[in-house]
Amino acid sequence: MRRKDEKGADLDSLPELNLFLAEVEKRAFMMARFATSNADEALDLVQDAMFEFVKRYTDRPAAEWNVLFYRILQSRITDWYRRASVRNRFRHWFGVNDGNEGEDPFLNIADPSAPDPAEMMSRRNTAEALEKAVRRLPLRQRQAFLLRAWEGLDVAQTATAMGCSEGSVKTHYSRAVHALRALLEEYRP
Amino acid sequence: MSTESPDKEFLDGIRKTLDASVDNLDEQTLLRLRRIRLDVLESAVKRRRLFGIPRWVTAGGFATVAVVAVTISIWLTSFQQRLPVRHVEEVEILTTQEHLELYEDLDFYRWLTDAEMKGKER
């Protein structure tokens, strides 16, 4: 028998939903921050994606949640990207410069707990370089790379999440890996 | 395999670095993410209270409505079949607001008229 609260709402999937959201929230935030370079904007995107996900897809089997959630998030990121492009074009046309270069994302990263300062510095430099390199990727390449290499989605799932063909995913992913190789050459062991 | 190995190593390194970045997110961001998650879960509970009528209730409701509709239609059909209307002309008789006794005893009045006619002829 399924568990209900005092008003009859089905609560059986809530712990599962909580676990799922807790598992994806940090990586989702990072992906959004790679795109926006701004923690507040990234949090807004994650929040929008989570609300939309709960509204539309929590009735679907839990095995599909990952792909469906990332589909919404990537869609939100793409929308944000388009709006930002238009906004930047207008600013460029009208010569507006608000002096906001975007916050330094590494201000929000806590110091690693490594006791060795040299190792700490090395790790920090590597993380910085990687973040910069990932940010330099074109949007679609970055999406394909993060979903495939980091989130572990297969080609078909990534295509669903990105709303494009599997062929496009392979192309974007391959180009992303090549670009990152070139950008991170000096940090390779 | 030999071509995949360097790629794998390279990608594993990137994955580890990205995971470390996630693990090192600042406390404020983590709190805000937690707050967002709780808000989302609360909205999920509210949505389910509004729309989460159990499916068996919905299915049972539809089944009940369907059975009632069929029963009413069958009852109306049988009622219509019991109506003594055999010709279109008789509809007028049935729908008239006048006193129906004349039409119900029509055969009697015909016989009465015939009897009177025969009496006159004699």
What domain range is A119 assigned to?
Answer: 115-189
Q: Is residue A164 part of a domain?
A: yes
Q: What is the mean pLDDT of residues B25-46?
A: 92
- Its ipTM equals 0.74
Residues A138 and A174 in one domain: yes
Q: What is the pLDDT of residues A10-36, one digit of tens each?
A: 546 788 899 999 999 999 999 999 999
By CA distance, what is A40's nearest residue in B?
B29
Q: Tell whether B94 lies on the interface with A, counting CB pairs under 8 A.
A: no
| Residue B33 Rama label (left phi>0; alpha psi -120 to 50; beta) | alpha
pTM of the model: 0.63
Distance of CA A176 to the CA centre of its chain: 15
Task: Mention every residue, 6+ apart, whose C-beta is less than 8 A from residue B83.
Answer: B94
Residues A156 and A187 in one domain: yes
| Residue B85 Rama label (left phi>0; alpha psi -120 to 50; beta) | beta
Does the structure show a pLDDT above 60 at A176?
A: yes
Residues A93 and A165 in one domain: no
Residues A133 and A87 in one domain: no
Q: Is residue A47 part of a domain?
A: yes
pLDDT bracket for residue A5 (50, 70, 90): very low
Residues A72 and A146 in one domain: no
Q: Tell whether B80 lies on the interface with A, counting CB pairs under 8 A.
A: no
Contact A140, A48 (CB under 8 A): no
Does the structure show a pLDDT above 80 at B88?
A: no
Residue A118, helix vs strand vs coil:
helix
Interface residues on A facing B, Cβ-Cβ cutoff 8 A: 5, 7-11, 14, 17-18, 21-22, 25-27, 29-30, 39, 43, 46-47, 50-51, 54-55, 58, 108-112, 123, 126-127, 130-131, 149-150, 177, 180-181, 184, 188-189
CB contact under 8 A, A130 and B15: no
Contact B18, A30 (CB under 8 A): yes
Q: Is residue A178 part of a domain?
A: yes
Residues A85 and A166 in one domain: no
Residues A90 and A155 in one domain: no
Single out the residue in A46, A70, A99 at which a domain terminates.
A99
C-alpha closest to that of A70 among A30, A130, A37: A30
- pLDDT reported for residue B2: 43
Contact list, A181 vs chain B (CB under 8 Å): 10
Q: Is residue A107 part of a domain?
A: no
Burial class (CB in 10 A: 0-12, 13-18, 19+), A189: exposed
Burial class (CB in 10 A: 0-12, 13-18, 19+), A58: buried
Max CA pair span of chain A: 64
Residues A82 and A39 in one domain: yes
Residues A17 and A77 in one domain: yes
- Count: domains in chain A: 2
